Amino acid sequence: MVSPGHALAGGDRLVSNNSKFALGFFKTVSKNSSYTSRNSYLCIWYNELPTITPLWSANGENPVVDPTSPELTISGDGNMVILDQATKSIIWSTRVNTTTNDTIAVLLNDGNLVLQSSSNSSMVFWQSFDYPTDNLFAYAKIGWNKVTGLNRRLVSRKNSIDQAAGLYSLEFDINGVGHLVWNSTVIYWSSGDWNGQFFGSAPEMFGATIPNFKFVNNDREVYLIYTLNNEKAITRAAIDVNGGGLAGEKGNGFLVEWKMIREALG
């Protein structure tokens, strides 16, 4: 865990108790060359895979640029922050009202990074599952909290090097219809209504690669979630830089298409 006086820096990794996920600073590498970016991002990835594929990044819009050395620590007001080690300036912060300064950062077994009270683990002030990037973790929600107005959506990355937000998003409207959106304005695919097993425009969800979809729509929230039959399974469900969907498991290199999106686009 990360706690006051115990920062995460350099090549350090924070690993979940089940060893499935890791959190650390990572420099992206081009898939088509040996080029490595000078930008560092705080990312979560699968700890047991030899090649790091970021599943979530904190500071996609504000990377740490060499030769700056970053660290993840707990600030005096209890927030989780990325600091420039040399100047101690804040590069990224959770920016929440913690009501206490005894907070710690913990990477849970499902890949959720949480900022919580050190004395009461049920007192969670912030969690990465509420701020997804381009990947949907098992047990994480995509959709709306109708009470607070929180909208959890998947947003593509700019490219394989730049972790900033790209042009495509996969999201639900407040009525529970899913949309693939370009540039936050143009809807070019919609899911249709949920019939209890799949969305009308995505019958491929029935018996899909990723099992156990659940859709909830009530007065308080609307969201889609998926669970795993095998908790050790290493899966990926993501929106790629071109607005397409990917899903798969460890054995096939994450290259199985998420037909829910890809086939609907033709």
Residue 73's Cα: distance from chain center in Å?
20
Q: Could you give the domains of the chain? A: 1-131 (2.90.10.10), 132-265 (2.90.10)
Q: Which residues contact 74 (CB under 8 A, 6 or more apart)?
A: 2, 3, 4, 80, 81, 103, 104, 105
d(CA 92, CA 25): 13
The structure tokens 């495509």 sit at 168
The pair of three-digit structure tokens given for residue 87, joined into one six-digit string:
């100047």
Quick one: pLDDT at residue 6? 94
d(CA 208, CA 233): 15
Q: Which of 249, 223, 233, 22 is nearest to 113 (CA)?
A: 22
Quick one: pLDDT at residue 221? 98
CB 248 within 8 A of CB 240: no
Quick one: pLDDT at residue 224? 94
CB 224 within 8 A of CB 210: no
How far CA 53 is from CA of 23, 146, 168, 220, 250, in Å, comes to: 12, 32, 19, 34, 12
Quick one: pLDDT at residue 248? 59
The pair of three-digit structure tokens given for residue 94, joined into one six-digit string:
């959770």
d(CA 40, CA 38): 7
Low-confidence ranges of the chain (pLDDT < 70): 30-36, 203-211, 246-266
DSSP state of 160: S
The number of residues in the chain equals 266
Q: Which of 69, 76, 80, 198 is nearest to 131 (CA)?
A: 80
Quick one: pLDDT at residue 204? 64
d(CA 4, CA 263): 48
Write the pLDDT tens digit of every residue in 37-60.
788 999 999 999 888 889 999 999
